[in-house]
Chains A and B, each alone.
Chain A
């Protein structure tokens, strides 16, 4: 099962439509610029931010290197504390486990804490098929769910909606799911929040089963951690009798001391707060306090395969803060829906295709959804070099190579539809490796420069639709140099440089020497 939504087109196609949506772009520009400025201020307060960032990256790397060890330690600790641990290899298995657990309680409704993992596996849809209603209780997730919509941001899932739209959704849809919004609901944020509060309070008080994810799992004690702003998550974690948490296996940290680093990195990077309002932690079950039954579903769903990739594995450090989305110029223009999965923005562009083993056309387009400007890497609190992974995944698309899929080492073939580009790239490399051909090409272009049209056909059309082509100079630099200075010189090199010692992947051509 793919992490991407069914029927989503490749990124450029979706983005072509969304970039034209002026209202969406206005909403996103305002929201992302506000939060990025606040983040910069919050981060600048800490003199040791670079060290914290390095520590965060290193703790994650070390934990991922010994993931098997820490997961077993976690399982033992959770079990000791009265919880039950389940292992799910993929989305379908995780959904089956959760459905069975809910059915065993005899309930047909669950309340949910905002969770990326359950969105990734499509849990709400799977539960609905079994006749179980899952109610999102995070305010923004509620807006998305009531609007029969997809989230478009990790932290602010309804970032694409403005308050007039939210009022309409509340007025027309809330009644179908429970307590209706007042008929005369205004679009004042306080009124909207109050309507949501009343609607959700009913859900919290009736709920017998809660479903959550977790931001972190502490292996040494078997403790799960949810970090949030609203307190709605805590309601779901404490009021129901049964709690089921679905958590990606990469969320484990070895000790509470390690956790301390992330509890500094996460709030400042995501909401630009020094400390988030609610940090809930729980360890198994506790006599006469909170849920009596606790289940932890450990989700793989492509993570072990991702871990096998030396470059791509750094995506598993991600703590879902959204800082990369908020600084990304591509996300700001295209919006989150164009990424076609619960993981939008730069992190989505490297995470989705890996979890999916590059299954769909959308997956193969995502690594190209970036100008490689590097703003994401700069703000990432765990130093994921997103541009490096993007280029690495582009290689997988056009060049193919070894990958791990469902635990099996295999070699993928280059994706279809890149034949012309591949030929052009190889031709370019050949020309650039043969200066005589390069010079001839440049001279030909210079002579024909008055014939260059204003609009280009084929892929060039993408350029000339919005930009003019530079005019070609009458003479290339190398011709100017030769005309004015004579042939190039090199110090102490009277002979041709030594022939290359090894073959390369592409060109068997003998090198042309330093002099022609």
Chain B
């Protein structure tokens, strides 16, 4: 099987290790991974701040970059949700503004082919044991867009539970937002920081060595807050945990 990796702009620029981990993981599972270089950003920051028109070129770019692939794998719940939930809305609104159905058709072409990483592993490949090894205590924070927009449900936990050596610690108030919210974190910095502090406190209370999510944007916020608090809990993307093996641990 041959798939395209949509690494996302934040992973490309700030967290290349996550992208590398996805490549390692998928290749270990016998999947051939392509990285179409025309890809860039899904447009979520612009769209969620209200700049829908500025997002439109990126919808086209996404569709063009991944043309011909049946499976586009995204190691981000938030970016996958942007494509799946918001691209169709952008298309509908362009049509309502009298600019035809090109965007709507473009969106319809990419939506069913876009998979968040854990969806691809569990639903398409049908695996929960990916042969991973991570001998640490971990707490899992289900990120909002993965949880509520994509409905990832148990998938990330099913994968984590099969990881050798990993001890999962329950997180109090797990389903509460960490307070990132993109530009929310600077526009409403006080509230965002208050949410982040509560989340960081709950993470620390688990005593886990690492906090894991399927979104590096949320991890950037949680990690930045934890680090400012002098905490030793390490933020780590699920893909990186799943990529490690006993022969080549993370």
Binding site for B on A (CB under 8 A): 11-12, 15-16, 19-20, 25, 310, 329-330, 333-334, 367-375, 377-378, 388, 391, 393-399, 421-422, 425-426, 428-429, 431-433, 435, 438, 442, 445, 459-460, 462-463, 465-470, 472-473, 475-478, 480-482, 485, 487-493, 497, 500-507, 509, 511-516
Residue of B nearest to A441 (CB): B13
A429, B43: Cβ atoms closer than 8 Å: yes
Q: In the bound complex, how far is the Cα of B39 from the Cα of A507, in angstroms?
A: 17
Q: How far is the CA of A19 from the CA of B149 in the complex (A)?
A: 28
Chain A residues whose CB sits within 8 angstroms of the CB of B191 once the complex forms: 12, 15, 19, 330, 333-334, 369
**A20 contact set on B, CB distance < 8 A:** 190
Of B49, B187, B188, most A-chain CB atoms within 10 Å: B188
Given contacts A467-B196, A493-B67, A497-B64, contact A422 B51 (CB under 8 A): yes
- Chain A residue nearest in CB terms to B37: A488
Chain B residues with Cβ below 8 Å from A504 are 53, 56-57, 60, 94, 99, 103
From known contacts A398-B51, A477-B20, infer whether A462 and B186 are also in contact, taking CB-CB under 8 Å: yes
Q: Which residues in A have their C-beta under 8 angstroms from that of B145?
A: 372, 374
Pairwise interchain contact A370-B16, C-beta atoms closer than 8 A = no
Q: Are A511 and B149 in contact (CB under 8 A)?
A: no
Interface stretch (choices B122-130, B131-139, B173-181):
B173-181
For the complex of A and B, list the 8 residue pairs with the smallest distance between their C-beta atoms, beginning with the closest: A371-B181, A505-B53, A394-B50, A467-B224, A462-B189, A373-B177, A488-B37, A466-B193
Query: Which of B50, B60, B102, B224 is A469 in contact with, Cβ under 8 Å?
Result: B224
- Which B positions have Cβ atoms within 8 angstroms of A? 2, 4, 7, 9, 11-17, 19-20, 34-41, 43, 45-58, 60-61, 64-65, 67-69, 86, 89, 94, 96-97, 99-100, 102-103, 144-145, 147-149, 175-177, 179-197, 220-221, 223-225, 227-228
Q: How far is the CB of A334 from chain B (nearest CB, A)?
A: 5
Chain A residues whose CB sits within 8 angstroms of the CB of B56 once the complex forms: 504-507
| A433–B68 alpha-carbon span in the complex (Å) | 20
> Is A491 a contact of B38 with CB atoms below 8 Å?
no
CA distance A463 to B9 in the complex (A): 19
Closest chain A residue, CB of each to CB of B177: A373
Partner among B12, B52, B57, B224 whose Cβ is within 8 Å of the Cβ of A399:
B52
8 contacts between A and B (CB under 8 A): A25-B194, A368-B184, A429-B54, A478-B12, A482-B37, A489-B34, A490-B34, A511-B57
Q: Is the CB of B189 within 8 A of A433?
A: no
B187 touches A12 (CB 8 A): yes
The answer to whether A432 touches B58 (Cβ under 8 A) is yes
Measured in the bound complex, the distance between the Cα atoms of B191 and A15 in whole Å is 7
Closest residue of B by beta carbon distance from A11: B188
Q: Which of B39, B41, B47 contacts A391 (CB 8 A)?
A: B47
Secondary structure at the B interface, as helix, strand, loop or mixed, is helix
B179 & A435 in contact (Cβ 8 Å cutoff): no
Q: Are A394 and B186 neighbours in the complex by a CB distance under 8 Å? A: no
Q: Check B16–A476 contact: CB distance below 8 A.
A: yes
In the assembled complex, the CB of A412 is this many whole angstroms from the nearest CB of chain B, namely: 13
In the bound complex, how far is the Cα of B60 from the Cα of A162, in angstroms? 54
In contact, B36 and A514 (Cβ under 8 angstroms) = yes
Instruction: Tell me if B20 and A467 are in contact (CB < 8 A).
Output: no
Residues of chain A within 8 A of B86, CB atoms compared: 391
Let me know if A480 and B16 touch, CB within 8 A.
Answer: yes
A391:B43 contact, CB within 8 angstroms? no
Which residues does chain B contribute within 8 Å of A333, judged by CB atoms? Answer: 191, 194-195
Checking B39, B51, B188 against A426 with a beta-carbon cut-off of 8 angstroms, the contacting residue is B51
Inter-subunit contact B14/A473 (CB<8 Å): yes
The residue that B144 contacts in the complex, of A374, A462, A503, with Cβ under 8 A, is: A374
Contacts of A512 in B (CB 8 A): 38
Complex Cα spacing A491 to B66, Å:
10
The interface residues of chain A lying within 8 Å CB-to-CB of B50 are: 367, 391, 393-399
Given known contacts A368-B184, A463-B185, what 13 new A-B pairs fall within 8 Å (CB)? A333-B191, A368-B187, A372-B48, A373-B176, A425-B46, A429-B54, A473-B17, A475-B16, A481-B37, A487-B37, A490-B36, A491-B69, A507-B57
- Please tell me which one of the listed residues B52, B102, B181, B190 contacts residue A19 in the complex, with CB atoms under 8 A apart: B190
Residues from chain A with a CB closer than 8 A to the CB of B16 are 473, 475-477, 480
Q: B residues within 8 A CB of A397?
A: 50
CB atoms of A19 and B187 under 8 A apart: no
CB-CB under 8 A for A490 and B46, given A388-B89, A432-B61, A501-B102: no
Residues of B within 8 A of A375 (CB): 144, 148, 175-177
Measured in the bound complex, the distance between the Cα atoms of B227 and A476 in whole Å is 23
User: Smallest CB–CB gap between A370 and chain B, Å?
Assistant: 7
Contacting pair A429 B58 (CB below 8 A): yes
CB atoms of B2 and A491 under 8 A apart:
yes
Report Cα–Cα, A425/B183, bound state, in Å: 11
Nearest Cβ on chain A to B37's Cβ, whole angstroms: 4
